[in-house]
Amino acid sequence: MKICITSVPVQDQDKALAFYTAVLGFIKKTEVPLGEHKWLTVVSPQEQSGVELLLEPMAFEPAKQYQTSLKEAGIPWTSFSVDDINEEYERLLALGVEFSVAPREVGNVIIAVLDDTCGNYIQIMQML
């Protein structure tokens, strides 16, 4: 058994696709229209056959409440690994990305937390 798809809830799929590709650097993998929404996934350019991230539309009220509660509590929805967190932090700042947590060491990792503009905090981390 292996993980092939994971998801992040988004308030606007088109806005999310723009942010996750143009800003974070992922690549669109799949886009299948499904009525009002679509099956929309992105992948890492380094692992294009790897785990897909589903940009999942927020069409279920309890999920919206959960997303809002996590963000209000400052809790990231998920975490992405980067090779050089300081370099990535500076790159993203230059693109106008807002961070709730600047890079800081936590145990055996350095983390930072960004706002994905789609309703979530996302953690980036670098292993030490």
Number of domains observed in the structure of the chain: 1
User: What are the tens digits of pLDDT across the range 57-115?
Assistant: 998 899 999 999 999 999 999 999 999 999 999 999 999 999 999 999 999 999 999 99
CA atoms within 13 A on the CB side of 45: 8
Q: What does the alpha-carbon distance between residue 47 and residue 27 come to, in Å, rounded to a whole number?
A: 10
CATH number of the domain where residue 41 is located = 3.10.180.10
Q: Which domain holds residue 54?
A: 5-127
Q: 107 forms bridges with which residues in the sheet?
A: none
- Cα 4 to Cα 18, 39, 43, 47, 82, distances in angstroms: 22, 14, 11, 12, 20
Q: What does the alpha-carbon distance between residue 90 and residue 27 come to, in Å, rounded to a whole number?
A: 21
Residue type, 33: P
24: pLDDT strictly greater than 90: yes
Whole-prediction pTM: 0.95
